[in-house]
């Protein structure tokens, strides 16, 4: 599967009417499983850019329906192990910047579909919807609401949800998806999104490190030029997380490493071995003396382990299909995955993909 795949045009068009109930229009949307969820999430990323430059009711409706669908598809996965928790946290922090405090619009005339909707209003509804879903853990109440009804609830009536984003950021830190994070999270400024995003138009003070992903990428790209040994060692030990896997794929697609006379094959091989060591550790019982965040990850056993392996498989399959890396460069890693994790359905499918000659075909393109 292409890691950047999105919903088809016909699927997106189903979501454009703000008057239709979310539960009706998203039924079966995107398929199922992680790959289906990824298509929905990638669609959100693409439509967000469009809505920022040209806000419209149709773009608003697509975004709201996709956010609802993404949560619905993953609601049975504990948040700590949910592959889309970082998306929800980052969306709350990013979209909540510079929003004025919520307040009812009073007797102002309610907007109709013909009236313009603003970027700030779209962001407000998305933030409040995600907060409500995470807080309640239940998507059912929103199935019988339309995007327009959510607009009335969160914009016209000014309803908001008290939400401690620091709790969710710490989950990501404990799972190794974020580093220790900014010190502001330990103080009152990081306690609630409203407090950190709505004061005099200032940016959120509780923004986690991964929310500055563009800055991190600039830094690592600079270090690849000035300190290649340090930078490549960092690449070998990146977390098994979608944002980093996408970044590694981009490095290969754009030929960045080769342009700097850096052989990408041993780096990718070492990274996959690093990811496999992490996955293996997840399947082991926690040490009785372990008090760090990794203990929670290990406690989850096969669930956390399977999540990491699925992400890794998605990454490897992408490299093979796009001929970004000679399959023989990671032959032993592929064999280890196929033998050690045969109990995971996606691994069995991947093994069939390899045995049917897909690896050879990918290398020949």
Check if the beta carbon of residue 144 is closer than 8 Å to that of residue 138: no
What was the pLDDT predicted at 203? Answer: 36
What was the pLDDT predicted at 89? Answer: 92
Mean pLDDT of 30-43: 83
Instruction: Output b/e per residue, 179-193; b: 16+ Cβ within 10 A.
Output: eebbebbeeebbbbb
Of 238, 303, 225, 298, give the one whose Cα is nearest residue 268: 238
Give SS3 for 28. Answer: coil
Kindly state the tokens that stand for 321: 């299909």
What was the pLDDT predicted at 215? Answer: 78
Query: Taking CA 306 as the corner, what is the angle to CA 305 and CA 308, rounded to the nearest 5 degrees?
Result: 70
What was the pLDDT predicted at 170? Answer: 86
**Residues contacting residue 180 through CB under 8 Å, at least 6 positions apart:** 173
**Residues contacting residue 130 through CB under 8 Å, at least 6 positions apart:** 67, 71, 88, 91, 92
Q: Does the pLDDT value for residue 81 go beyond 70?
A: yes
Mean pLDDT of 121-146: 93
Look at 193-197, 219-223, 237-241, 308-312 and tell me which has the smallest mean pLDDT: 193-197
């Amino acid at each position: 599967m292409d890691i950047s795949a999105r919903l088809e045009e016909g699927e997106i068009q189903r979501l454009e009417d703000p008057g239709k109930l979310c539960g009706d229009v998203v039924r079966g949307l995107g398929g199922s499983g992680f790959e289906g969820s990824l298509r929905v999430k990638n669609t959100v990323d693409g439509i967000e850019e469009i809505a920022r430059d040209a806000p419209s009711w149709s773009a608003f409706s697509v975004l709201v329906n996709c956010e609802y669908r993404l949560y619905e598809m993953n609601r049975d996965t504990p948040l700590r192990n949910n592959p889309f928790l970082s998306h929800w946290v980052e969306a709350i922090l990013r979209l909540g910047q510079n929003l004025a405090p919520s307040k009812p619009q009073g007797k102002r005339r309610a907007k109709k579909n013909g009236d313009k909707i603003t970027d700030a209003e779209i962001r407000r509804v998305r933030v409040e919807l995600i907060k409500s879903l995470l807080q309640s853990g239940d998507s059912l109440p929103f199935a019988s609401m339309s995007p327009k009804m959510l607009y009335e609830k969160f914009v016209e009536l000014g309803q908001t949800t008290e939400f401690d984003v620091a709790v969710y950021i710490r989950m990501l830190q404990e799972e190794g998806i974020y580093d220790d994070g900014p010190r502001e999270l330990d103080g009152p400024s990081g306690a609630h999104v409203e407090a950190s995003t709505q004061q005099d138009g200032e940016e959120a003070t509780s923004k986690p490190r991964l929310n500055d992903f563009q800055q991190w990428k600039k830094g690592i790209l600079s270090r690849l030029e000035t300190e290649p040994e340090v930078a490549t060692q960092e690449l070998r030990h990146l977390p098994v997380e979608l944002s980093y896997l996408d970044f590694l794929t981009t490095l290969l697609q754009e030929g960045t490493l080769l342009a700097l006379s850096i052989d990408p094959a041993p780096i990718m091989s070492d990274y996959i071995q690093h990811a496999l060591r992490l996955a293996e550790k997840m399947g082991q019982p926690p040490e009785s003396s372990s008090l760090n965040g990794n203990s929670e990850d290990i406690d989850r056993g096969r669930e956390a382990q399977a999540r990491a392996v699925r992400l890794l498989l998605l990454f490897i399959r992408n490299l093979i299909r796009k001929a970004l890396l000679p399959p023989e460069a990671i032959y032993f890693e592929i064999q280890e995955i196929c033998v050690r994790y045969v109990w995971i359905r996606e691994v069995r499918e991947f093994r069939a993909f390899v045995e049917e000659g897909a690896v050879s075909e990918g290398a020949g393109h």
